A and B are shown apart, each in its own frame.
Chain A
Amino acid sequence: MMIPFLDSEVRAKAPQAIENLRKEGVWMVNTKLKSVSREGGEICFQFEHSYTSKFLRAVPRPSSLVTCLPTSDQRPVTSDTNYHE
C-alpha cells in the first residue's frame, strides 16, 4: 500500500482525503486504505471502514468509502457504498 505514495500528487492529496472522511464524522482509526487510483482527472482513495462497538461485535459491517480529489480545478466528491464480505 506504500507504492502509490511514491507519487507526489497522491501524497499531496492524501491529507485532504482524510479530511473529507472526517467531515463525514468517521472514526479514522477504523479505516484502512485499500487502494489509490487515478480516474478521469481525479485521484480516488478507497477506504474500508469497519465501525466497531461492543454492540456490533457479532456482525461486523464493513463499508467502502471512496473520496476523489480533482487533479484539476473541480469540486471534490465523496460517496458511501455498503457491501458485505
Chain B
Amino acid sequence: MNRFNSIIWPIIILGIILRLTDVAFPDFATDEAQFALGASAAQPPIGMFFFWLSQTIFGASIISARAVSIVFGIATIYLIYQIVLTFSDKKVALTAAAFASIFPTHIIFSKLAYLSVPLCFAWALTTLMFLKARKQNNKLTNKRINGASNMIGLYLAATLSTFIKTQGLLLPFLLLIGVIIESIKNKKPLLTINYSLFTILFLSLIPITLYILTSPGIGATLTLYGGNMYGISGIFERMLTLLKLWWHLIPIIFILFILSSKFYFLSSKNNWPTTILIITGVLLGLTLGPAHEYYTTYLVYWSIPIALLLNRMKPCWTPVILTLIVINTLLLTGPRSVFLNGRTYKLYQKEGYWNTHADQINDVLKGVDEVIVMGHPGHHIRWYLEPRVLVGKNMDLINRKGTFLNLGKEIQLEAVGEVLYDDEKVVITRK
C-alpha cells in the first residue's frame, strides 16, 4: 500500500496544481462573460450566483470568476473518491480520485468560468447522497439521525443541481426513474423502502419546474435550439463528432473507458445510480451539442469504471497507465511556460486578443459613455469595454452620431467617420 500511495498521491496533487496554472491566460469567452455578468436568461440563477459571489468578495476579474470552477473542480475529485468508497475499497477509490485529478478535459474546464464544472460537482454530490441514503434505507437500521441527514443532503444536492444549470434537472429526474424501475423489478410498491427516495427526488424537481414555467428565457432557448443543436437529429453525425473530439483530447482514457465498460456495466446492476451518472455525462454532449467541448467535463465520471478496471489488472499496469495519462495531460494542459507544444489545448497556444488590447482600446474610448459595436458582439465585449456597449446590428443608424467599434477590418457604411483606432481586429471610428 505504501508503494501505491507513493504513486497515487503525487498524481492527485499534480492534478490539483494543474488547475491553478495559466488561469488568466485565455481571453474571457462570450459564454464565460455571460455567466460572470449574470446575464444569461436561459439558466437558473444559482450557477451565476457563485460567480457573482466570488467577484463581490475578490473583485471583478477573470481570475475571481474562474476561481469558482477551480474550487468546484478540486472538490469533485474528493466526491468521486467518496462515491467509489460507497461500493469498493480505499485503494480503488484513490485510483478513481487520481484519474479524476489528472483528467485533461476536467482540468481544462476547471480553469474556465463555465457552468459545467459546478454542475459536474453538484451531480457527483447528488449521486453520493443518493448512494448513502439508499444504503441507509437498505440496512433498515435504527440510525434515524444519519438517515434523516442523508435525505436532507440528497434533497439539497438535487435541488442545487437543478438550479445551477437548466440541464441540471436531468440527473435527479433519471434517478427518480431508476427508483421507480427498481421498485417495479423488485415487485414492491413505491410505498416501501424506496418511498423516501422517491419523495425526496420528486420534491427536489418541483422548484425548478415552477421556475422554468415562469421564466420565458429558458423556454425561448429550448424553442430556439430544439430540433437542431438540442436533440438527436443527425444522430450518426453527432456520434462521429463526439467520438472525434474524445479521440483528439483523451485518446488513452477513451480506450480505457471502452475496455472498462464491458465488465463495469454488466457487473454494476446494483450500482445503477453511479451508472446513471456516467451515462448522463456521456449522453449530455450527444444530445445538447457534440461540438461544445465543455460537455467533455462530465467525462470525468469515467474515472470510476476505469479505476475498477485497473483494480482487476495486474498491479504492475497501474503505474504504466497512470504515467501515460500524466504525459497526455501535461502535453494538453501543462503550464505553457514549460509544456507548450503542438498538442497544447488551443486556448493556451497564443495570447488572446482582448487580454492584450483591452487597456489600449479603453484608453482610446476614455470619456465616451456609449460605444456602438458593429458586427456580432459577444458578451465578452461588454466585459472588456468600459463604456456602455450598444448592439449595432439591429439599430437604425442612418443619421446616428457617436463612437463605433467595428469588429473586423471592414467598416460598416453607417459607421464611417474619423478613425480613432485601427489594429488587426478592430477599427474604432467617430461620426
Contacts and interface: CB of A to CB of B under 8 A. Distances in A.
A24 interface: yes
Question: Looking at chain A, what size class is its interface with the partner chain?
Answer: 10 to 19
A30 B38 CA distance: 9
Interface in B215-232: 217
A26 B39 contact: no
B392 A25 contact: yes
Nearest to B377: A27
B382 A29 contact: no
Interface stretch (A34-42, A48-56, A68-76): A48-56
A57 interface: yes
Contacts of A55: 60, 386
B394 A23 contact: yes
Nearest to A1: B214
A51 B385 CA distance: 13
A43 to B, nearest CB: 17
A1 B61 CA distance: 35
Given A29-B40, A30-B39, A57-B55, A51 B388 contact: yes
Contacts of B61: 54
Given A27-B39, A53-B388, A54-B37, A22 B382 contact: no
A2 B214 contact: yes
B214 A25 contact: no
A57 B394 contact: no
Interface in B1-59: 34, 36-41, 55-56
A25 B37 contact: no
Interface in B344-396: 372, 382-383, 385-386, 388-392, 394-396
Given A29-B39, A29-B41, A52-B39, A24 B388 contact: no
B414 to A, nearest CB: 12
A24 B382 contact: no
B38 A52 contact: yes
A65 B395 CA distance: 16
A49 to B, nearest CB: 11
A52 B396 CA distance: 23
A23 B389 CA distance: 13
B391 A25 contact: yes
Contacts of B392: 25
Contacts of A53: 37, 382-383, 385-386, 388-389
Contacts of A25: 372, 390-392, 394-395
A79 to B, nearest CB: 16
Of B40, B214, B391, B396, most A-chain CB atoms within 10 Å: B391
Contact of A23 (B38, B217, B386, B396): B396
Contacts of B38: 52
A12 to B, nearest CB: 16
A19 B393 CA distance: 12
Contacts of B40: 29
A27 B383 contact: no
Contacts of B34: 29
A54 B60 contact: yes
B395 A23 contact: yes
A25 B382 CA distance: 13
B321 to A, nearest CB: 43
Contacts of A26: 390-391
A46 to B, nearest CB: 16
Interface in B194-244: 214, 217
Contacts of B39: 27, 29-30, 52
Nearest to B383: A54
A52 B37 contact: yes
Contacts of A23: 394-396
Contacts of B217: 29
Interface in A1-28: 1-2, 19, 22-27
Nearest to B392: A25
Nearest to A53: B382
Interface of A: 1-2, 19, 22-27, 29-30, 51-55, 57
Nearest 4 interchain pairs by C-beta: A25-B390, A54-B60, A22-B394, A52-B37
21 contacts: A19-B394, A22-B391, A23-B394, A24-B390, A25-B392, A27-B39, A29-B39, A29-B217, A30-B39, A52-B38, A52-B39, A53-B37, A53-B383, A53-B385, A53-B389, A54-B55, A54-B383, A55-B386, A57-B55, A57-B56, A57-B60
Given A24-B395, A27-B389, 8 more contacts: A25-B391, A27-B391, A29-B34, A52-B382, A54-B36, A54-B60, A54-B61, A57-B56
